[in-house]
Amino acid sequence: MIFSSSNKNSNNTKRSKSKFLTALTSGASIAAIGALSMTAPTVASAKTIQASSANYSFTVEDKYKGTATRTLSKSGDTWKYNVNARVAGVASASQNSTFTINGNNVTPTQASTTYKLLGVGRTHKLDFNPSSKKVVSNYRGKSTTMNMSQQAFDDLSLEVQIRQDLLNGKFSGNYYMAKKDKIEKTPFKKSGNTKITVPAGTFDTVRVDRVHDDDSRSTSFWLAPSLDYLPVKVSQINDGKKMDLELTKVN
């Protein structure tokens, strides 16, 4: 049994699992991390990533194993990105993002993240208003309005922006992300090219690392140019908990 200790230990375990769910949603998307501020290429010259669906497997602390599905779709001018992940019988998490792409610029409109641990869950919602340059965050009954002096992103729209930047040779590493109560700058860096093998096959990849202030934390993404820079592997250490995610199938 995973949860079979005293109440105190059980509460500590639940907090630990809550953190692991945060890692799960962050890893399942490339961008628990940031947003972009740069000059984009003209609409005519910008390449655009294609709609896709992919399956992943992941492990947390080498003990908990789960699966994730990520689906990027388009209807008219509106893009939607959905991520669903679960550890059977223990936890589940889902992320959703709605945005537009104009040239190289990704502009989010709405986003939500929901996680459940043993049937009890929390939801965080973001509403973006580009015209007023504000983001409204709703979490646990509290609404926070944040000024967006530079374009801010949720996790999934940020992943798409990073992929757009790589696709168009515009990656800068300067990103911002809308959190629960603030907009936070988080830098990234490219760490070279490498060939890696995952359950879905062998891919040439570009490695992108998040630059953390805390040396005990690390987040690395391996992105495949042949798949419009879709993540084929993610490795993350957060609060001492290690998570690895690998691509199993592109649908």
Candidates 164, 155, 148; CA nearest to 46 is 164
Asked if residue 145 is part of any domain, the answer here is: yes
* Residue 235 falls inside a structural domain: no
Name the H helices within the chain: 7-28, 155-167
Residue 158 lies in a domain: yes
pLDDT of residue 36: 30
CB atoms within 10 A of CB 108: 28
Count of structural domains within the chain: 1
Contact predicate 169/159, CB 8 Å: no
CB burial of residue 189 (10 Å; 0-12, 13-18, 19+): exposed
pLDDT of the chain, 251 residues: tens digit per residue: 222 333 444 444 445 555 545 544 444 444 333 323 333 333 447 899 999 999 999 988 878 899 999 999 999 999 999 999 998 878 899 999 999 999 999 999 999 999 888 778 899 999 999 999 999 999 999 999 999 998 999 999 999 999 999 999 999 888 899 999 999 987 899 999 999 999 999 999 999 998 877 777 888 999 999 999 999 999 988 777 888 999 999 98
Token couple for 174? 């300067």
Does a structural domain hold residue 160?
Answer: yes
User: For residue 221, what are the contacts with CB-CB under 8 A and spacing of at least 6?
Assistant: 30, 207, 208, 209, 231, 233, 234
Question: Is 214 inside a domain boundary?
Answer: no
Residue 69 lies in a domain: yes
Range of the domain at 77: 7-187
- DSSP letter (8 states) at residue 152: -
- The answer to whether 182 touches 152, Cβ cutoff 8 Å, is no
**Is the residue at 210 inside a domain?**
no
- CA atoms within a 13 Å half-sphere pointing along the CA-CB vector of 35: 22
The reported pTM is 0.81
Mention every residue, 6+ apart, whose C-beta is less than 8 A from residue 214: none
Residue 148 lies in a domain: yes
Phi and psi, residue 31, nearest 5°: -125, 35
